[in-house]
Structure formats: structure tokens, C-alpha cells
Structure 1
């Protein structure tokens, strides 16, 4: 069998040299490939099926696909959605058919970054996957439910691959130091503390961890016959370190979702954590500022109207001062939003109003509420019998209605018993009682939800 993992023709980076050649050396994904797990048993029995491997970079998607081909004695072919199109897909399928006819072996067609294919390109796989001409293995960092069409998904099983733990990364780096011939020749000396900092910086990415270790080895200093990697060397390696933050991808939306939920759940500590994670990863602070304004309206509303003002002020500070002063103002706003009284009453009311408007006919504006800027409008009684609230006792025209008659008395806004909305509910209840008692009711009213 051809070796899928080694190329003697050129120098390979450490990450390539440490690519496992058996499942026993595969690091991580024990929830899928641990002993006794269904996927592990299927691979060991050589039972191939089409699949989509979904997970962040550097967690072993390509490596697993290669191991799958090796374990199942299948030919391994690969396409990159960045470079390939329908022509390349058909060519790969033709080669798979020719190979099957000559050797009787199946082909695993590995498609990297499959989410970059458009719908027509994804559809090109369907007949070949359906017929078993190829075993399709797609790799993606994006949510397949959003990025892949249903027809392709229905023919594949989706497996979620997780970021590697620090313990898994640490074990991988130690094995590299102990087993890689090139590193052994260099007699590398590195403390557990420095090694742990490399794994922390790699942020669950095995490829990144091995690359950082290799760079550190290249920058190591000679001391007593050893190549030493200490804190000073590591500082040089990590100068441009940026945590994983895929703007516009799943990581981006997962983290802003976590921030929003922490605010909604009144947890200022978690909210600050997710905010700092996003900023540390390179997120535009203005994006978070805009989302904070949304949180102030959606989750706090009139329970604490100051929340919206504080969020807007933080946005303004960020635009005026930039980083890092502006980020501190956003952090202040996020903490305030998290501890503020919560209400989604306005948000819920607005959604109910929109739902009714889209479901019901367009009710005409009642005549007494219409504007009368012209003589003709006045002759048509526009604005007639309108009661000017400022001329009424306490500035309230008891019994008046501002709805179309067909939906008079309908209620959408239900203040919650928290914060300022306690007072709002008291006032609304008082006004409703005045309406009910008024002898000048515009329509016979019965409250409607």
C-alpha cells in the first residue's frame, strides 16, 4: 500500500511529520473514536459511509479521512472547494470509477472546506454518493445545516469534531519531542510550564501547537549542549499570537450568542468573559457596541430605560476614543446591562403587533384620528370629534380609542413586575379603569389580546 503520510522528496513541517498513521496514535475525538464507539467500530470493520466532518481548524479532519482510507483499504482522493469546480468533481469521479474497475477498491473522496461549494457544485456529488461510486467525506468549519444543501446532507452522517484539550495537546507535543528524529537530534530542553503555555496559546488546534513548537525550536538558544526553549524564546514565538476567532463564522456567532445570553441571564462575570474573548480574538468593538444596544432594547426595555442610554454612550465613546478606552466603556455598559432589571415586554409586544399586521387586513385609520390639512379633508370630517388630550383632566382623554374600531381594546404590551415597569403597569391599570368608567367611550370596549 502506498504511504499516504510521508513524502521523502522534500522537508516536511513538524505537523506533517507527526501525522498519525494508525488510529491508535490519533489524538482527540474520543467521543467518536474511543474504544467501543460506533464510528470506531465501523472503521475497524471497514464499513464505509459518506460523512461530513464538522469542527474547528486543527482538530484532525483531514487526518481522520486519510486514516479512514488506510483502515478500510480504500483509495484516497482529495479536492479543495477553494480551487475545484464541477469539472474537477467529474474528473475525480471518473478516476474513482476507473480505479474500481482495475483494482476493485473503492475511493474515499475527501472534500476540504466543502461549505465553499455552491448549491450546483454540491448537487454534482449526489448521483455518485447515492450509487456508492465514491465515499464522500466533506470537511467544514461551518455549520453544515446552514452551508450544505439538504439533498447532500441527507446522504451523509454529520460528525462534530471538538477542539483538543490542553492535556491532549500536551501529550502530542511531548510525543513529538520524544519521537521526532529531527527534534531528537537537536536535544531540545523545555520546561513543563513553557510547554503548557504553548498548548494554551494553540487554543485547541493541534496543527497550531506543533507549528508553535517547531518555531520555538528554531529560535531556541544553545546552552550546555542543549537547545533551550525558555520564557524569552516563547515570548518571541507568541508575539503575533491571536486566539481563534473566525469573523463571520460559527465561532463568531457562538461567542456573541454566549455574550447575549450571559447578559440576559444577569451574569456580569460571564458577560465580561465573552466580551474579552471576542476583543482578544480581534472582533471589532463597534460590533459588540451595536449588539449591546440591541440587548438594552430586547432584554431590558422599560424595566430600566437607562440601559439603552448607557449602551448608546458606550458606542459613542468607542467611536470618539477608539481602543482601549472605548472598550472599557463597552465593558462598563455590558456589566450594567447584565445587572439591570430584565423585561422583554416591548420586544414581545412588537413581534405580536407585526404578526397581527401581516395576518389581518389593513384596517383604515378612524376618521377622528385622520389629519385635516385641507378644506376637503375637513369637509370629509377628518379629525372631527377628536379629543385633544392636553385639554382633558390630568392630560388624559378617558374613553377615547386610538385603534381602528374592528380591533378596539386590543392589548399587546404587558409590563413585567420588575424595575420601572412596575410603575408603568400601575399607571396603565389606572388609565384602563378611567377608560372603563368614562361615559364618553369611543367604542364599547372589551380588552383583547
Structure 2
């Protein structure tokens, strides 16, 4: 077991150091602080020293949050202050601040570390006494860059003792190849069209506006779920079972259902560590709504240091609020197709805020979606992308966004044909990828 853990830990260190050794040192510092805080909190977990434990918890969380604020949000906060001062004073204000590069996957590993110390404080998990095993939990490279966010309680037993079977390795490799194919074929094809439309900065008709928004809707799903599939697959190869992060979110018939199916590890994190501790829905209707808005405000902030992400979070919070007021009950009584259309339209419009460079661009884009203008289809940059390959990938993307693939895989396929299919798919993906420009996963920057 020591050998297995050492291999994964060394691979994780090498993998993360590719993004910069100085950020690796930053991550080591966070690991050390939270490791010793966890040990200290656990040592007095059954004593009467509740005050000391709370102080240690607050200290660890402050260090984690401060790290996140400095590297991810400080530039945004400073630019916002500059804008406020400029508006009030009438003169240009420019505060001198060094530009800090964003450590890769900072939001994901920070939330994992925070969940660990909170769970130790609650007595839900025993503190990890081996710092190398704790580092392995934090740095496990298959899912470190873009999730899923893994709780310590989900993998602690496998860190201590796990076995890898041929069946797990086979399932892991297949899952990895499917995630790889999602990214290379579907996400990239949809992304090319989305980039072409959004690059027009509002100079397009209603049909193109919807085409670009739908393309991005599919791109971000296959990009992110593809990464999650690859992480889950690699985890299986190494003997770890990571939780599912997606469950066909675009078949949802409400926004509440969408958030039970989309980025499940983040949704459950906010539910367990923010919504429920704030009182959840146990302290009256007003308090429930406040808690709900707080969660979605934080969800928007978590995704990025820009106003459009905050608006995106509050936008989803608004519809969660409306559904709790009574729309949710109405959606259960009407034909399900109405709920599906409603949820999909709301989600597609929301992704425009997520993709646009700023709020004014997003608002202008959404106006074009509902302007009902159907002139000027001869936009060369869009027409060039609207080819046979894109149309085929669009059809595949729409079909696979529904649980059809799950039903297909229930049928027995001869093992030789299955192996050959996965091998060909992977080989084609490598060949296709070699002809593409650099196109990283979207959620890596979060």
C-alpha cells in the first residue's frame, strides 16, 4: 500500500509542478497548515476544549479562504474599488497592484481541504496522522485540476487500504476514453461554433444567437463532464472510487432538478457546508430564501472573479426562489415537456453570462436572442463552422445529452467488438487532437 500511495503522490507532484513550482510550494504550505490544524482539532475532539477547537478551525479556514482571495479575487476587488472611486471622484483612479497568476485548480483543492477540517471538527472523520497520506488526498492528480470535489470520508479507507482488480482497470480505461472523446470531439466542435458567434460582439441575428448559446451549452457540459469522466476513470485504475459529478442535467424539468444533476460535488458541498449550517429550510420561509440566495451568490463567486459570474449565480438563485414560491409545484402538474423546455431555456440563457467577457456583452447577446431578427445569414466566420462535421457532432451531442447511451450500454456487446471500439475511438481522438490548437478544459481555470 505504501508503494501504491507513493506512486500516485509522486505522479501528482510532478503533474501539478508542470503548472509552476512556486504554486506547488503554495499548495505544500496549505497542506502543512491544515494537516497540523486537523491533528490539533482531533486531539481534543472528545474533550471540553470546544473554544480551542473552534479557534483552530477558524484559523485553518481563514488561511484557506485568504489564499483563495489573494490569488483569485484580489485583482477583481481592486478593479472594482478603482471603478467606484473613479465614478465618485470623476477622475481616473489606478491602484498599483502586481498581477498574480491563478494557481491551477485552486477552487477545487481549497474546497477539499476546507471540507476535511470541518469534518474533523464535527467529529465525522478521524484526523489523518500521516502527512503524506493527507497530501495524497489533497493532490490526487486525476481529479485535482477540475474535480469532482472529493470528501475525505469518501476516500480515506481507500487511501489506507485498497485493491485494484482487472475489472476496475478495464472500467476505468473505458470511462477515461469516453471522457477523452467527449472533450476532443464534442466539446471542441461545439466550442468552435460558440467562439465564432461570441466573437461577433453582438453583430448577428437571432438564429445565430441561439446557435452560439446552444453550442456553448453543449460545449461546457461535454468539456466538464468529459474531465470528470477522465478523473473517475483514472481513479478506478488506481483503486479509488470518486463520486459522480453529472447525471444528465439537460433533461431536467426545473432549475432545482438541474442543480441536483449538474456539478453534483459542488452542489452537495454548498448544501452541507453552507446551506444547512445557515439553517437550511428549518428556520422559516424568509430565512430559507436568504440562505438560498447566499448559496447561489457564493456559487457565482466560486466560479470566477468577475461580475458576470456573480450575476449568473444570482440568476439561478432567482429561479430557485421563484420555484420555491410555487412555480415548482405548477411544473409538476403540467406536461413534463413544458418543464423540460422551461429549464433548458433558463439554463441556456444563463450560460450566456458565463461565457461573455462582461455583463454588457451578455445583455446585448441575450437581446439578440429575443430580437427576432432573421437577416444577414452570410457571416463568413459562422458559415465556415456550420459544416457537415459540426452538424454531425451537434446531433451526437444532443443525443448523448439524454440517457440513451446508458440504455445502449445495457445491451450485451461481444467483448472483442467492445475493446476494438474503444481502441479505435481513442486512436481517432489522438489523431484528431494532434491537429487542434491548444484548447484547455474550461473548468481548469476555476
Classify the TM-score, shorter chain: under 0.3
TM-score by length of 2: 0.23
TM-score by length of 1: 0.23
Return the structure number with greater helix share: 2
Larger Rg: 1
Compare relative contact order (CA 8 Å, sep 6+) and give the higher one, 1 or 2.
2
